[in-house]
Structure 1
Amino acid sequence: MQHTEIIRLGAGLEIHILLDTLDTNRQFTLFKVIVEPAAKVPAAHYHDQFDETIYGLKGLLTLTIDGKTIELAPGECCFVPKGAVHRFENKTAESVELLAYAQSGVFGATYFRELAEVINVGGPPDAGKLKAIMLSYGLVPVSG
């Protein structure tokens, strides 16, 4: 049984690493995300090297995938193919929990730890550093 590592990104976003890239021979990453109401979430982005599947566990998550808005409820899932511009947010007053499966295992706990070092310093994070971290793991931020 794997030990779950919890990585906090700011005040409202928590990543629970369930299976890291090192646990799966870099085949996939499996992690739970807790999104508090009005949490700061990642900028709209796409993945240039991997697909992602998101499964709702608790609450209602609002996803935008290639301009289409999807409300993801518990028990529902959606597939985010490589190259699809997407973002998510919690528009409700309750916390949201989701399970994310990213294949192949290009990014994992190390990615989230690096983000946490920049985000959790207090004050506005360095956007240039965040973008560089994202790009180094195959996540490409999209402005607008």
Structure 2
Amino acid sequence: MEHNKDQKDVLFLKSGEGRTYSCGTMTAIFKADENETGNKYSISEWWLEPNSKGPGAHQHEDNDEVFYGIEGKTSILVGEKWIDIEKGTFLRIPSKTIHDFENRTDHKSGVLNFFIPGGFERDMPSIVDWFKENPSK
């Protein structure tokens, strides 16, 4: 993961720019991460192909997550309830809360994700490898 900016630099990325990770039917594009934010947060776009599953139910012990709908409709599991996130919809998930996301529609969907504090991007190479080894996800 190459960084040529740090927390003192202005970040300006056009649509589609960033560090891209292919995760089966999902694509993550990291816009800013711990190196660039002093580990305060990470920001990424998550794009899901039509009728596709997400990462699987999980939780983060010490990190809140914010999701903001940017395209289509993404269904997000929060605890035991599924919530549909459409363009312009905001959702904050506190740490230690089980969550997942998927696209249940016939159209591509996307969410902007804020991971607080940062550091999630450290796991992306192993997540990409997992999806390569488990292509049915």
TM-score w.r.t. the length of structure 2 is 0.82
Q: Can you list the C-alpha shifts for 1:4-61, whole angstroms capped at 9, x where unaligned?
A: 1111011x10000000111111110000010111324211111101100000000011
Instruction: Find the counterpart in structure 2 of residue 141 from structure 1.
Output: none
Instruction: Find the counterpart in structure 2 of residue 133 from structure 1.
Output: none
Instruction: Find the counterpart in structure 2 of residue 130 from structure 1.
Output: none
Structure 2 counterpart of 1:76, which letter? Answer: T
Q: 1:66 to 1:5 in 2, by over 3 A?
A: same
Contact residue 21 and residue 128 of structure 2 kept, 8 A = yes
Partners of 1:15 and 1:100 lie apart in 2 by 10
Contact residue 53 and residue 101 of structure 2 kept, 8 A = no
Segments of structure 2 that go 5 or more residues without pairing to the other structure are 1-11
1:94 has 2:99 as partner: no
SS at match of 1:23: helix
Structure 1 counterpart of 2:20, which letter? Answer: I
Instruction: Find the counterpart in structure 2 of residue 27 from structure 1.
Output: 40
Q: 1:35 to 1:104 in 2, by over 3 A?
A: same
SS at match of 1:100: strand
Partners of 2:110 and 2:87 lie apart in 1 by 9
Instruction: Find the counterpart in structure 2 of residue 81 from structure 1.
Output: 94
Runs of 4+ in structure 1 deviating by more than 6 angstroms, as ranges, are: none
Which of these residues, 6, 10, 18, is aligned with residue 4 of structure 1? 18
1:54 has 2:46 as partner: no
Q: 1:106 to 1:94 in 2, by over 3 A?
A: same
SS at match of 2:42: strand
Segments of structure 1 that go 5 or more residues without pairing to the other structure are 126-144
Partners of 1:106 and 1:47 lie apart in 2 by 12
CA RMSD of aligned residues (A): 1.7
Partners of 1:63 and 1:18 lie apart in 2 by 21
Q: 1:48 to 1:82 in 2, by over 3 A?
A: same
TM-score w.r.t. the length of structure 1 is 0.78
Q: How many residue pairs are counted as aligned between the two chains?
A: 123
